[in-house]
Amino acid sequence: MNEKERVESRKQTLGAFFALVVILLAGGIWILKSGTKPAVTLASQDKKADANRAPADANKQGGKNFRPDHNHPAFRERVNERERMVAIQIRARDVKDPNVLKAMQIVPRHAFVPESKRRYAYDDYPLPIEYNQTISQPYIVAFMTEALKLGPDSKVLEIGTGSGYQAAVCAEIAREVYTIEIVDGLAKTAKERLKKLGYKNVFVKAGDGFFGWPEKAPFDAIIGTAAAERIPKPLLEQLKPGGRMIIPTGSPYGFQYLELVTKDKDGKIRKSRVMPVRFVPMTGEVQK
């Protein structure tokens, strides 16, 4: 083979090599593009699962992206006041659950009261809110939350949203909180407030809490923030076996008690009075 033929042979070999490289690269790109990849929808991307409307299947919406985000400036305000509140009003009164103590320290109570009352937000008493309702004393909120024994997978039903403060405290611990408010204006205000504060795992509905939220039942925990003379039967039915309920019962104008209700694995109900209290009355069907 002469020199000219050798040069031509090398050109052909190099050409074949580069052609093979191009084919392999193209094939690899095609594989990457056509490979199967699971579709992932974050809660914030799911238009059917906004911060205050229950998703079609909330149980499948859990995870880090479905937790309160704490980005609102209120969480960074008055931190020292919350620390004192927890130390003096709550921990000193024998509330011990670390999750409850942490939640009470995180949630900015001043964001849940009318502007005219915000200077008193961390004082040791209930405060008036819109529509002649009240936001409960911090200690009572902590006590009731601890009684539920919430965990990170708990699904909670609240009867009486009010300002939304109790729902926010529960949402710091539990996976999901479903809350019902019979006063339309309060429900709307609480819904907007909770959404603005970043509570993606709280779902607000305007309606009569007597009937609960059967579409989302059963619940690991149920909390009532308005006093009824009797515990509504639908709430007992929607409590999961092994679940816990705390609710004020008694006369709107007389004695009231926090009543702790447990349901064992066989569905047997046990009730016990744990503390005298004073709550606004539950209205609607329960009054009939």
Cα(251)–Cα(120) distance, integer angstroms: 29
Q: Which residues pair with 282 in a beta bridge?
A: none
Assigned token pair, 148: 């539920």
- Predicted confidence at residue 12, as pLDDT, reads 54
List phi, psi (to 5°) of 64.
-60, -35
User: DSSP per residue over 65-104, as a string?
Assistant: GGS----SGGGGSSHHHHHHIIIIIIGGGT---HHHHHHH
Rounded Cα distance between 238 and 170, Å, is: 18
pLDDT > 90? residue 184:
yes
Model confidence band, residue 10 (pLDDT cutoffs 50, 70, 90): low
Distance CA 122, CA 249 (A): 26
- Please report the pLDDT score of residue 171 as a whole number: 98
Task: Grade residue 1 by pLDDT with cuts at 50, 70 and 90.
Answer: low
User: Average pLDDT in the 207-222 region?
Assistant: 98
pLDDT in tens, 36-84: 333 322 222 233 334 455 544 443 444 445 889 999 999 999 999 999 9
How is domain 50-287 classified at the CATH fold level? Rossmann fold (3.40.50)
Domain extents in the chain:
1-37, 50-287
pLDDT at 92 > cutoff 70: yes
Q: Which of 9, 34, 116, 136 is catalytic?
A: 136
The answer to whether 136 is a known catalytic residue is yes
Q: Mean pLDDT over residues 143-164, rounded?
A: 98
pLDDT of residue 9: 52
Query: Which has more pLDDT, 112 or 38?
Result: 112
CB 237 within 8 A of CB 231: no
Residues 6+ apart with CB under 8 A from 195: 50, 51, 52
Q: Are 104 and 91 in contact (CB under 8 A)?
A: no
